[in-house]
Amino acid sequence: MANNPRLSGQVAARAHHSPAAALLRRVEPFFAIGEVSGGPLLIATIIALAIVNSPWGDGWTAAWDGTIRLSYTGHAISRTAAEWVNDALMPLFFLIIGTEVKREFAKGSLSSLRTAIFPVAGAIGGLVVPIAFFVAFNAGTDTAHGWGVVAAMDTAFSLAIVAMFTTRLPDAVRAVLLAFAAIDDVFGLLVIAVAYTAALEANYLLLAALGYGGILALLRLRWVAPVPYVLLGLLVWAGVLGSGVHPTIAGVAIGLLLPTRARLSERRFAERVGGPLEELRAAQDAAEAAPDAAKAEEHHHRAQKRLGYIHEMAAATDEPDERLVRILTPWVSYVVLPLFALSNVRIHLSAEAVSDALHSPLAGGIVTGLALGKPIGFLGATWLATRLGAARLPDGVTWRMVLGIGGVAGIGFTISLFIAELAFSEATQVEMAALSVLVASLISGLFGYLMLWGAASRRADWAE
């Protein structure tokens, strides 16, 4: 997330005589509070790798595999600690994704057909080509069903890398990446729902549908209080969890419901609070001039009522989707995603593991699918769409920038690890997939950074 203009100028000036300030400026996007950031996730991943490969690794893994059982009136749910992170906390991350998808379609980069086709074409290419690479390596093997591992990208890490060039690349670069990431994540969620759901429990699906319908009804009634929405959201989550579909789907489904428009426009707000503001001033003046404490308290009470009205009117100008994302983002960035990494990253780094990966079709399919398939698919599909006249290259965006976007899209860390846990039942396959995702993400991140750095440098030369 970019600084405000004055602060950006101050940091830029300080960087001329302070190498530390320049370094912090580069690192800052990985720890941005206003959006899902990759820094805490990266630190948690490094910590998990260090512990898993230490003498305490077995105890660490056993702790996350310990069972936590919740029961109420004869009904019980048992999950390991790691599964509770995946099933109960990760839906919050996907709730943000669903909200961003809805916003992009409603009023963002996908709000018109012409602007939507470019990232949509890239998302299709970024899905088909990686899967083709994976299948080419794994067709006919017992790992062929793991093709979903290369289906989606990691939004947090990719946006953090692009944010490092916020002032040196056009805004359209981030918009295209966000739109691509939104569609790509939808594909990933569909993969989870369709390919990795073993069986369905109709009664629980009905329960989820009732909760979902209740949220829709409250939205139609323009209900404001958040508690009923939270309770109905929990009902949707419980229904999806019990149905056999992974509960992350509940997160994105609820996110797609959130309104993208405020209940009250800024103009209407100004019109409605004009009178109450005057009454507030009059009540304050009267309280200060009151002859006794009782009268002062009476006028103070009247002032508080006007303040309450103004506060509610101000809250009505807040867009519900932005408000929810603003509340959840710090928790997701600094709690949910780090816990996911701590509980799911179980990669044993050794010469033997690397040797096995070099001869493994699973590793070859994942690394080539993410590191090669994503940039080739995104660049090829968007180029073809523009050549056919169906899409237009956004203003200020070059094909080198497009290749950089495709490069960072190969970072498949969070969702790829998530799908690997669902796709493979053998621990050795999960570990091999995780190691491959880690390698592919490192390659993709470095390649994408170099492409965007070159594009930003060339753009700066032209500006001079």
Closest CA to 156 of 261, 50, 237, 45: 45
Tens of pLDDT, residues 405-440: 999 999 987 778 888 888 888 888 888 998 999 899
What's the mean pLDDT in 308-334? 86
Residue 294: per-residue pLDDT: 83
What's the mean pLDDT in 248-258? 86
The single residue listed with the structure tokens 């419901």 is 257
- Which region among 70-84, 314-328, 381-395, 424-438 has the lowest average model confidence (pLDDT)? 70-84
Rounded distance, CA 145 to CA 149, Å?
9
Residue 351: per-residue pLDDT: 81
Confidence of residue 463 (pLDDT cuts 50, 70, 90): very low
- Nearby residues of 97 by Cβ (< 8 Å), 6 or more positions away: 155, 182, 185, 189, 251, 252, 255
What's the mean pLDDT in 283-299? 85
For 4, the 3-state DSSP assignment is coil
- Nearby residues of 439 by Cβ (< 8 Å), 6 or more positions away: 357, 363, 367
What's the mean pLDDT in 3-26? 54
pLDDT: is 23 or 75 the higher one? 75
Contact 129, 377 (CB under 8 A): yes
Model confidence at 9: pLDDT above 80: no
Tens of pLDDT, residues 29-64: 667 666 677 788 888 989 999 999 999 999 999 999
Mean pLDDT of the chain: 83
Tens of pLDDT, residues 77-104: 788 898 899 888 988 988 887 887 788 7
Amino acid at 113: L
What's the mean pLDDT in 230-257? 87
Residue 400: per-residue pLDDT: 92
Amino acid at 395: D
Model confidence at 280: pLDDT above 70: yes
